[in-house]
Chain A
Amino acid sequence: MRFVLKKILTLAVTVLAISFIVFLAFSVIPGDPALMLLGGESDPAKVEALRQKMGLNDPVIVQYERWLAAFLRGDMGTSYKYSMPVTRLLADKVPITLALSAEAFLLMVVLSIPLGIYSAKHEGSAADRFLVVCNQVVMAIPPFFSGILITYLFGMLLHLFTPGGYVSFREDLGAFFAYLFFPALAIAIPKIAMAVKLLRSSVLTESKKDYVRTAYSRGNSTNSVLYGHVLKNALLPAVTFFGMAIADMIAGSIIIEQVFGIPGLGKTLLTSIGNRDYPVIEAIIVLIAVIVVASNVLVDILYQVLDPRIEID
């Protein structure tokens, strides 16, 4: 329990640090927000008045405090481009990206564990060697290219889905998840290959350890050694990998949303970068940071449940 509390405290501190760095970067580098709100050729007096009103003349730390307090209340500022609250702009986008990443994550876990174990168990067989080569090649395919290939193959040739035919989750939840399947697959594919490779090698490494010899010496069959002893040990590095993959999948979804025309956080982020809509960019980055750090904390806790040795802390 102390461990969990400590982890949550770490999470809070980390998120705070990131939000401060992001705030600092966005308040120092891009230029005068008042000027941007009013447009290029505004009356300097008007700009100064707006600066006063927005509190831009206060010290950065005061501005940060104000920004943080507002953020915690759910007020993420106002979009320069659309002149509407960022919170309202993003409310519909967050669930889409989360659903896409979650679906990709599930695909990765469900497919990689059995494949990894199979590959290790039949080390050196034709199927294993095929998988090894396959993994290596698949890891080299950028997700957006596999997205394009999937669009062409499953969308245009086999007509298993309509490219660009995104269905909102408000309209039809089933169709929403169905449409996300192929984008999720495109995100998951390279991660699956990496996870299979990692699991294969971690099962093989564990199989060479002394305790495996002990297990055999008690009369265990190969299967009971594998499932009774090796697997739990071999899964530990995989759990760490899965945890780190969450962050990559959220990043991956930014690109994949572009490929499949999904109006999620990623698409909004890119449009906002194009429009230099800094409040929106800032909010999205802090949101993603929260998701990434929180998922890492979850993984740490899960790891601690699986590995008794961590408890000493």
Chain B
Amino acid sequence: MFRFSFHAKDGKKNSYLTAGTVITILVLALILLGIVHAPYDTEAMNTSEKFAGFSLLHILGTDNFGRDVFSRVIVGAFTTLKIAAGTVAIGLLGGLVIGAAAGYFGGAADAVLMRINDTLFAFPSVLLALVIVSLFGSGTYNVIWALGIAFIPSFARMVRSEFLRYRESDFIAGARLQGAGSMRIMAVHIFPNTLPVLLSSVLIGFNNAVLAEAGLSYLGIGVQPPEPSLGRMLSEAQSYLMTAPLYAFGPGVMIILMVLGFSLLGEGVSKRVNG
């Protein structure tokens, strides 16, 4: 069973887990600061202070409306985190149900389900999300649903392979002989064994969701103004790249830190489990 530790199975230090934890805590602390008390109002415009450079007053400078970039970055990061959490939750729940059923029961249902799943899986999630957004319109909630549905196939695939693996194992055969029913075997006997792998996929899922959300809002499809969004800030920054190249720094680095933190954590966990 998975027990938390910064060391890999063989006792070596797991630097992935350490680095991931440090970065994620830093990101979460910044987001928390944004929730509790951002240094400036994210909407407060100040035309006299357009494109101010990095300073003690505005540590990441200001944008084309003279708004404080740092405040907008940490508030935008919270939006991104919310969308990522929603995405992963939908993907995970959908994936769990489909994957567990397909993996455990097998047979024709599995074949059909997985054929559909593989087709969707081959389809890039951003594209799938674009299709869904184009049908239902943009906005935060539609983006969450769009990405969440697009994430189901990869979770389902992972859950299925885990359930398939355990379904054939001797200890499940033993439980069946002792009279355990399918629901109990799935929930009590198999599910806890999939937790470590599930945890690492959830973290990797966060990583992908942040990237996808940023991409969509860069394209202007995700979060709508005036809510600050990292992707859209970068798209604005691109228009002023010649005059104010530093504007891109804040939102860009924030996305990288978020993704990096989750991916390192995810890999750390999987290293911890697989040695």
Contact = CB atoms under 8 A, between A and B. Distances in A.
- Determine the main DSSP class of B at the interface with A: helix
A274 B138 CA distance: 10
Contacts of A258: 218-219
A139 interface: yes
Contacts of A141: 252, 255-256, 259
Nearest to B218: A144
B134 A251 contact: no
Most-contacted residue by chain B among A30, A145, A148, A251 (CB, 10 A)? A145
B159 interface: no
A156 B136 CA distance: 39
Interface stretch (B41-49, B122-130, B191-199): B122-130
Interface stretch (B59-67, B70-78, B233-241): B233-241
A276 B242 CA distance: 33
Most-contacted residue by chain A among B127, B238, B245, B260 (CB, 10 A)? B127
Contacts of B219: 255, 258, 270
Contact of A247 (B124, B231, B256, B260): B124
A151 B238 contact: yes
Interface of B: 115-116, 119, 122-127, 130-131, 133-136, 207, 211, 214-215, 218-219, 221, 231, 234-235, 237-238, 241-242, 245, 248, 252, 255-257, 259-260, 263-264
A259 interface: yes
A55 to B, nearest CB: 21
A269 B252 contact: no
A182 to B, nearest CB: 14
Interface string A253-277: 0110011000000000110110010
A289 B123 contact: yes
Nearest to A133: B19
A166 B38 CA distance: 41
B238 A254 contact: no
A288 B128 CA distance: 11
Rank and list the top 3 A-B pairs by shortest CB-CB distance, nearest first: A251-B124, A140-B259, A140-B260
A136 interface: yes
Nearest to B20: A136
Contacts of B237: 148
A14 B119 contact: yes
Given A142-B215, A145-B255, A254 B127 contact: yes
A17 B237 CA distance: 41
B134 A156 contact: no
A195 interface: no
Nearest to B213: A142
A152 B245 contact: yes
B130 A273 contact: yes
Nearest to A247: B124
Nearest to B19: A136
A99 to B, nearest CB: 18
Contact of B215 (A25, A148, A255, A276): A255
